[in-house]
Structure 1
Amino acid sequence: MKKTYEKGTFGYDLNYLSEKDSLIVLKSDDEKAQMIVSAKYQAKVFTSTANGLDGRSLGFVNYKVFDSGVIDEHMNGYGGENRLWLGPEGGKYSIFFEPGVEQIYDNWHTPKPFDIETWQIEHVSQKEAMFTKDMELKNYQGNLLKVNVERKISLLPESVISQLLALSLPEEVGVVAYTTDNKITNKNDFEWTPETGTVCIWMLDMFHPSDSAITIVPYHQGDVTKLGKIATTDYFGEIPSDRLRDEGGILYLKTDGKYRSKIGMNAKRTKGIAGNYDPLSRRLTIVTFDVDPSGIYLNQEWNPKKDPLIGDAFNAYNDGPLDDGSIMGPFLELESCSPAAFLRPEESLSHKHTIFHFVGDEPVLSPICEKLLGVGIDKVKHIF
């Protein structure tokens, strides 16, 4: 495109990313809802907009990683508001650590098939794109897992959005939403079992933080002995009370990009929905995802001594400086995982993860937030 767009707009990111790859742009008939998808960058959805080229770019694009021109041996954090990884990251079944090594950062390496390798385009239309990738992943047990990944990304029309969420969309709200259908197939000649180790589908969404942005996580209330603890909150040390609040069956996490923190929730506790609200950009983001309360979920912690079969179905992350003052983003993340893929040869497992962005004034957004997440925006804004 010849037109110059202001940084922060979708048009700016489209121009910028067009210099990196031959992009796929999915768009609605009126071209207000658009999204950028890339085969070269592992079938990522880089970003989207609810208001056309001049509208705000809603995903996180990591310009400094692109501009460095450096390929990092550990991970290449190009960004992207939705990407597919496979887990587990750490633990007995890890696919990020070589067999037997200590699970520390120096030994941590993101598998290249979902870090730097190009994916195959199967088909593209105005509102849908499908990609595939064959992978060979050595796990911490020393087994080579052969995996075929199939990923379909579908831009949703407003009629489908209303149907999925059971709500009427006000004319005053801008909206863009898309579903990702993700499937893995066992291409080994042996079954993936607790003895061989296995993988899970891991979806990660990256968005811009702000001083006022809050992640909102509804959960099932009930007996700890039946449902497990509400959330794991000490991944990087316990989160201070002025950054994490538990009230009325909802967790609130401050996502200002200034303090590294993460929460994890099991499959019995999560309701399969979470969100983030940023009053500065007037963006309400909702994610929904498949969850199986009776399923086995993998532990992804960097500790092979922990039970590998007790893990999270949902995670939320707030970026922040490391001990040396460096920072990858800042960004915030909403994440979901599939159950463990204990599959026979040629058997498959699928996981659906959907992103909805609503942009508009708070009186219009608040009823949407209350219906979907159980809380109005005014309370979200003043929770801390």
Structure 2
Amino acid sequence: MHRLLPFILALGLFQACQNPATKSTESTTDINTFAYDYTQLKAHTPLILLEDGDHKVLLAEAYQGRVMTSTAAGMKGTSYGWINHDLISKGEYQPHMNAFGGEERFWLGPEGGQYGLYFKKGDPFDLVHWQTPGAIDTMTYPAVQKDKTQALFAKSFSIENYAGTRFDLKVERRIRLLSEKEASDLLQVPLNAVKWVGYESDNQLSNTGQEDWDKSKGVLSIWLLGMLKASPAQVVMLPYKAGGSAQVNDAYFGKIAADRLIKKDSVLFFKGDAKSRGKIGIPPAIVKPLAGSYDVEKGALTIVRFSYTGDTAYVNSMWEIQRYPYRGDVVNTYNDGPNDKGEQMGAFYELETSSPALVLKKGGAYRHVQQTFHFEGKASDLNVISKHVLGVELSQVPKF
């Protein structure tokens, strides 16, 4: 035994020296951190980093000026957006849609129907024929202005709907970090007890064509979608007007199981675990301009608020020839999961908002403004925010 002692001591010293380095490596490669996403993305596409202390937001021109992710706690903090690093690193475009990820991207509606943008004229409304237009999937939106806390992206292009109507348009999209005073004033609640980050997305769509847009030929809407990281404890919360549960649209991709969706008198809860594909919509008759999600295990609350002025005509994105093409939804949530082929885009859920159906005159324009907030902290402190803004006690959130 005494002959082995020097070897054992040496081995112990070697392992002691290796452990700090191992921990250091793990901390810098944690896939849940903002630093990981920033490093991975930077290797494949130019980025714009907005920052104010620990509040950081990451933008990408190549992906339509989308918000890829954000954090409330600096480079080592939690990264909120779901990003498809595998797809991005391949550098190859995919059929149907390039699910690059990103916690807030710019799209146009409607998706399906006789005025839809995602199906060619005469094609059936199924997954085989569904195709995201390149202008909102693979086209770059250059940054025409930028500084430390904001960036403005602009792009002009043409697009055609299922009915053959051509639209000439310009998109201007400004993303800016919100100060603590701005965020507190918008939410009407103090934020000093929690870690938080907030940013505003101001999106303007202009009719640059030679004709006025006409409902009888189809019109467009601004559609903002956020891919956020799913988890077993993630629950989406969509508040709506009291007594409105029967008007919730939960028929997009078939019936949603009762153990995944609970509709109360003025709020619904929807499981955001990326284990079952489903989509839900809130129509204008019952909408409140808010959406949220809560992960009790991570102590994380997300809130989205947006501009809404009482419009009632919203484009219908259902995959069918529609009887009522302007009875669409204002707010949507989507949970990813295996499709009919057993394939899946990724481990994310979505919070989505839309502008009204835009009947723009020649030279006319419309702005759809949205703010996204993420909060981390004690359940009691997060509850103050949720109760005040969403009207939801976090103790009410079911554990599916």
Query: TM bucket by the smaller chain?
Result: over 0.9
1:336 corresponds, among 347, 353, 369, to 353
Cα deviation per residue 1:30-54 (whole Å; 9 max; x = unaligned)? x210010011111010000000000
Contact 2:200–2:372 (8 Å) recurs in 1: yes
> How many angstroms does 1:100 deviate by?
2.1
Cα distance in 1, alignment partners of residues 213 and 87 from structure 2: 36
Mapping of 1:7-156 within 5 angstroms?
7-28=31-52, 31-156=53-178
- Find out whether 1:217 has 2:238 as its counterpart: yes
Contact preservation (8 Å) 2:311, 2:356: no
Give the secondary-structure state (helix, strand or coil) at the position aligned to 2:280. strand
> Quick check: 1:315 aligned with 2:332?
yes
Q: Deviations over 1:39-71 (max 9, x none)?
A: 111101000000000001111101232234321
Name the amino acid aligned to 2:171. V
Distance 2:295 2:90 in 1: 29
Q: Mean alpha-carbon deviation: is it higher for 195-204 or for 45-54? A: 195-204
- Picking from 271, 296, 320, the partner of 1:303 is 320
Contact in 1 for aligned 2:41/2:85 (Cα 8 Å): no
* Contact 2:213–2:360, Cα closer than 8 Å, also in 1: yes
Which ranges of 4 or more aligned residues in structure 1 deviate by more than 3 Å?
A: 2-5
Distance in 2, matches of 1:103 and 1:234, equals: 15
* 1:248 CA displacement: 3.6
How many residue pairs end up in the alignment? 375
1:229 positional shift: 4.3
For the 8 Å contact 2:250–2:256, the answer to whether it is kept is yes
Q: Is the 8 A contact 1:211 1:256 kept in 2?
A: yes
- Alpha-carbon shift at residue 275 of structure 1 (Å): 0.4
TM-score calculated relative to the size of structure 1: 0.94
Could you say what secondary structure the match of 1:107 adopts? coil
Any idea what the Cα deviations from partners look like across 1:72-110, whole Å, max 9, x if unmatched?
131100000000100111111111122222222222211
Q: Does 1:288 align with 2:301?
A: no
2:391 counterpart residue number: 374
| Contact preservation (8 Å) 2:82, 2:347 | no
Report the equivalent of 2:14: none
Q: Which amino acid aligns with 2:45?
A: D
The separation in 2 between residues aligned to 1:221 and 1:19, in whole angstroms, is 49
> Which amino acid in the other structure matches residue 229 of structure 2?
H
CA deviation digits over 1:139-170, x for unaligned, max 9? Answer: 11112111100101010011110000001113
8 Å CA contact 1:268–1:294 kept in 2: the answer is: no
Matched, 1:257 2:279: no
Q: Answer whether contact 1:33 1:50 (CA < 8 A) is retained.
A: yes
- In structure 1, how many angstroms separate the alpha carbons of the residues matched to 2:310 and 2:122? 32
Offset of residue 192 of structure 1: 0.6
Identity %: 37
* Structure 1 spans left out of the alignment, 5+ residues: none
Pair 1:240 & 2:262 matched: no
1:195-253: CA deviation from partner (whole Å, max 9, x where unpaired): 2211100000111111111111111124x7xxx94211121211121111122411111
Distance 2:268 2:398 in 1: 14
8 A Cα contact 1:26 1:128, kept in partner: yes
d(CA) in 2 for partners of 1:280 and 1:328? Answer: 24
Partners of 2:354 and 2:231 lie apart in 1 by 26
SS at match of 2:232: coil
CA contact (8 A) 1:150 1:183 kept: yes
Moved more, 287-296 or 263-272: 287-296
Report if aligned partners of 1:153, 1:181 keep a CA contact under 8 Å in 2: yes
Mark the structure with the bigger radius of gyration: 2
Aligned to 2:224: 203
Supply the RMSD in Å over aligned alpha carbons: 1.7
SS of alignment partner, residue 233 of structure 2? coil
Partner secondary structure for residue 62 of structure 2: coil
The residue that corresponds to 1:160 in the other structure is 182
User: Which protein is richer in helix relative to its size?
Assistant: 2
**Aligned equivalents of 2:96, 2:157: Cα separation in 1:** 18
Distance verdict in 2 for CA 1:180–1:269, change over 3 Å: same
1:299 Cα deviation after fit: 0.3
Assess if the C-alpha contact under 8 Å between 1:267 and 1:292 holds in 2: no
